[in-house]
Structure 1
Amino acid sequence: MLHRRLTRPTLELDDIQATVLRPRPAPYYGTHALLEITDAAAGREALRRLRTRVASAAAWHEPRPAWTSVALTFPGLRALGVPAASLESFPQPFREGMAARADRLRDHGPNDPARWEQPFGTGRVHLAVTVIAQSAAAWQQEVRDYETALGDLDGVRMVLRQDFGNQPNGTNAFGFKDGFTQPVVEGSGVEGRPGDGRPIKAGEFVLGYPAEGGYPLPMPSPTELGRNGTFLVFRKYHSHVAAFNRYLHRGADTAEGRELLAAKLVGRWRSGAPLALAPERDDAALGADDSRNNAFTYHGDPRGLRTPLGSHVRRMNPRDTELKVLTNVTIHRLIRRSTTYGAPLRDDALDDDGRPRGLDFIAVGARAIDTVEFLQSEWINSGNFIGRGTEKDPMLGVQDSNSYFTVPGIPPRRIDGIETFNTLQGGEYFFMPGLTGLGWLADL
């Protein structure tokens, strides 16, 4: 588990779901369950029973076997019988849903909603229940307990269950250590680590508090529902690890060269060591040191000779990079609670084995929907903001047939034939109420 120093909190932590502010354990095991509500009374009773299992953020630093969180889509709120005036107070993108926002998200080609796994994008995903734990036994017990609690409710049924858990050594499907650069939420009671940046106003992440502009962002009504809630974006990706490996072989003749190219694509070595601090070779000790592995800027590297401008981590958090398109980086920060699913593929595999594996990209924040749509449109599937034209994010971008990645140098080297390494299997926009909000919904 990542340990951070505590300070005196100013947020109403006892009303905020723990997983909004609590870092995931390491290692971790868990389940995402998507439920459909076919009877409003049964749906409200489900929330009543689940509410007792949802921990608050007040004691997130104390040991706990497992954590359960609950979130709802707009069709889910409607299925519960939420009054029209309250439904209309939610932002338009949330009401429309992710599938309807495909153009804004640039979810085309392999990411088109027509290709999504059922039941994503059908309006049948109403309620998401996530369990995450530090041991397999605690995870399985918590899942059994809540499934038993909901077992006699005929009007609530599971439409998708996905188990997840980090791979060996805490890596993602591509073998990279992940989970860096979480924003520091002002008033959360948690101090940042070196490199996390200054604390960001709580209202950027939790509704009802001043945001970076000095005032609270609009929130759903009534106050009992909106305050201490937040929005959550869920996007399930299948990772094409063999395609990634083939691209490395296309771009380098040696094992050392392939590892360097992999680091250039991501912006970090597989150990987690950033190129900004270890530009020539991996440094496992640096990657494992949470007091150093995120303490860097891009000052002195304006051309990306150490960390390419187009690398994944530099795109997603440009830090002090001088951008060609003026952007307030601070208001585009997200709390990320992403999870990895599926068994790992062999490190040297050049052919896919056909088994599911990948990433559940999970972003939390008061502006989460707007921010993800911005990132997808401007920073992932375009390169204009860093002067890279049509070049796309090498890890999350939807690549064209003539796409490439540029490794800066003298001269720069363009490696053609980059493929789409992560394809979208589906996704939804969720609202994650505070505990008071869950009670309000249960008592409709």
Structure 2
Amino acid sequence: MSILTNLKTRLTGEKAALALDDIQALILRSRPEPYVGVHAMLHIDDAAGGRDLLRRMAGHVPSAAGWTDDRDAWMGLAISFQGLKALGVPQASLDTFPLPFQQGMAQRAEQLRDFGSNAPEHWDEAFAPGACHIALTIYARDDAALAVALDQAMKELDQSSGVTLVGRHAFGADADAKNPFGFRDSISQPFVAGSGVEPLPGQERAIAAGEFILGENSETGKPVAMPEPPELGRNGSFVVLRKYESQVGAFNDFVRSQAQSESDEELLAAKLVGRWRSGAPLPLAPERDDPELGADPQRNNGFDFSRDPRGLVCPHAAHMRRLNPRDSQLSILTDVNIHRIIRRSSTYGPKWHRELTAQDDTGERGIYFIFISARAYDTIEFLQQEWINRGNFIDLGTERDPVVGLHETPGTFTIPQQPVRRRVDGVTTFNRLRGGEYLFMPSLGALRWIADARWS
């Protein structure tokens, strides 16, 4: 069952409570499977020219009003703080944005634990401080649809002045939607209250819309603080974009070095991630992969960890369990629901295969980790500090996430077993950060408000 077909079977028939015609579709619309696309980073050299381009591009950004409808391609648009300044947004409005957004991702390296090989001095030029003002993302079902959408976008850029294309990167995956390490990706997504769609098994209750849409009530019962005036902030959201270069061969080598057979390799890889490569979760397939389960959106997220409190099936340190502990008992109490994120990650480069070694890690494979949240900057800095690069919250001290953690020296991964737990040594940095930015995704009305300089 495709993502789109699955969504249509879950329509409630009731009118959505959100202002879907003002919200960018990318916030609610998942990428297709298979998918192709392009990320483009633009720099604004002239405010009037930048606003002219924004006006042109806004017409190609669909709203969420038809987010469950068939569509061959669609675009999302987000703007950095320096981009808003370059567009001429008044200082009084700029001052109402969160401090991390104002500072930008590179300046928040300490809070993000972006040290060593992940430090900003190693990032791509497109993500140098102040370089990326506008980020455009186009998702499409196939190459033909992408070509049409990309041609439209480039024509608008060519007809505008005062804007420079500083980076462009193609991405895509086949119908299996596998990430660079060969695992089905972006399975677990929160259910947004008021979107007009029933949740899937495993999505638990609806998460308050204000956790994702500015101006709506959040899990606290009140809206998260939003930029002012309301014409600028309402129905928008915040975006975290982080480009990773995946060390797929090094990951393969590590797994091989710790296993006696191919089946042992697959089990260890599943323990590191929390799912088998097909997407089947360990709590539902504890002993072997189940591709049919992994491909079934009605079942592949229908689980919790209540029957695995010790982590004997899915280790507490597994990537999936760290980033969504669900009902796990945590040593450091945390409201998991205010750290939920809508993921729009995209894979780039050739597909994974078992024979790859560290010598094949030439920088051609990776993932753009992109997520949307009204609390995006608090969330990513919390995740980086606590759930990814520490282990205190699960009684594992300094142990880090085995997939996305920064391991400046070889680390350890703990697998609970009876009678004695197993510690796997030699975990290294399997995803190296190559850039990123903090972005604001305005509503469609706000795009027009900026483009027309309605503050004047």
TM-score range normalised by the length of the shorter chain? over 0.9
1:423 aligns with 2:428: no
Tell me the equivalent position of 1:6.
11
Q: Within 2, Cα distance between the matches of 1:296 and 1:218?
A: 33
1:12-411 to structure 2, matched below 5 A, reads 12-167=19-174, 169-353=176-360, 354-410=362-418, 411=420
Contact 2:33–2:176 at 8 Å: present in 1 too?
no
> How far apart are 1:224 and its partner, in Å?
0.6
Counterparts of 1:428 and 1:384 in 2: how far apart (Å)? 28
| Moved segments of 4+, more than 3 Å | none
Contact 1:34 1:128 in 2 (8 A): yes
Q: How many positions carry a matched residue from both structures?
A: 444
Question: For the residues of structure 2 that align with 1:84 and 1:314, how far apart are their CA atoms?
Answer: 41
Instruction: Using the TM superposition, give the Cα deviation of residue 347 of structure 1 relative to its aligned residue in structure 2, in angstroms.
Output: 1.7
Q: Distance in 2 between matches of 1:19 and 1:68?
A: 7
Task: Indicate yes or no: 2:448 matched with 1:443.
Answer: no
Q: Supply the distance in 2 between the matched residues of 1:300 and 1:343 (Cα, whole angstroms).
A: 38
Q: CA deviation at 1:352?
A: 3.3
**1: distance between equivalents of 2:94 and 2:396?**
41
Kindly report the root-mean-square deviation, in angstroms, between the aligned alpha carbons of the 2 structures.
1.0
Whether the aligned pair in 2 keeps the contact of 1:37 and 1:156 (CA below 8 Å) is yes
Residue identity opposite 2:320 in structure 1: V
Looking at structure 2, the residues matched to 290 and 150 of structure 1 have their Cα atoms a distance apart, in angstroms, of 38
Unmatched 5+ residue regions in structure 2? none
| CA–CA distance in structure 2, aligned partners of residues 173 and 256 of structure 1 | 20
Cα distance, 1:355 vs. partner? 4.4
Letter in 2 for 1:73: S
**CA distance 1:397–1:355, shift in 2 (3 Å):** closer
Indicate conservation of the 8 Å contact 2:208/2:219, yes or no: yes
- Aligned-partner Cα distance in 2 for 1:347–1:55: 39
CA distance in 1, matches of 2:446, 2:353: 45
Q: Which moved more, 1:108-117 or 1:30-39?
A: 108-117
Amino acid at match of 1:256: S
5+ long unaligned stretches in structure 1: none
1:434 paired with 2:439, answer no
Secondary structure of residue in 2 paired with 1:119: helix
